[in-house]
Amino acid sequence: MRIVIAGGHGQIALRLERLLAARGDDVSGIIRKPEQAEDLRAAGAEPVVCDLESASADQVAAHLEGADAAVFAAGAGPGSGTERKTTVDQGAAQLFADAAERAGVRRFLVVSSMGADREPSPETDPVFAAYLRAKGAADSYVRQKSGLDWTILRPGALTDDPGQGMVRLAEHTGRDAISRDDVAQVLAALLLEPGTAGLVLELIGGAMRVEEAVRAVARR
């Protein structure tokens, strides 16, 4: 497969790029900073410099031409304010979905967040609340795209613990943690399972192997 990943220098994206390259896929990662390119090459991915906060849908679509799948794994990241939650976590996701549709790339995965499907509680940190609202708005936008075979993945609290390859994947899982390694493994498996199109899935650590967990939720 040829796969294009938005947010190609992110912690989950780099892990995913290594997995996809190792299984023989052709992987490109969209990055904002040219100095990040070597990290992508080391992971086995081709870097594509494109600022998703300023590019047009046509410009991004040109980078997606001929791809079999697209993965949105970008984020404003820690230390960013509410404005960039809107421009990246929401705006860039919507732009990437538009671009994929224009380029004819049907398979489309989104790395979202648990809690993006509800209004944050009043005591939630304002910046984190803005992040959850941005993710929720982006998810809603993608779900309306009839030209995309989308899957939205909502991991629990992310950790840098070594991946165990054992997860719980379901429409609702309850809150718990999940390693970034395991999130990347699940994304790689989802790309091979068309039966997960049209699903919004939560993900935490669990007792089922990744491939089995993905097969279990797939529609037949």
Q: Where are the alpha helices (DSSP H) in 107-191?
A: 126-143, 180-191
Candidates 72, 108, 131, 150; catalytic one: 131
Query: Percent helix, strand and coil across the chain, each rounded to 5?
Result: 40, 25, 35
Mark out the alpha helices in the chain (DSSP H runs): 11-22, 37-43, 57-64, 82-84, 93-103, 126-143, 180-191, 210-217
Residue with token string 């390859």: 165
Residue 17: closest CA among 51, 47, 40: 40
Tokens of 27: 């992987």
Give the separation between CA 115 and CA 82, rounded to whole angstroms: 17
SS (H, E, C) 152-171: EEEECEEECCCCCCEEEEEC
Residue 124 CA to residue 127 CA, distance in Å, equals 8
Does the CA dihedral 25-15-9-203 come out positive or negative? positive
Active site residue 141: no
Q: Which residues are known to be catalytic?
A: 131
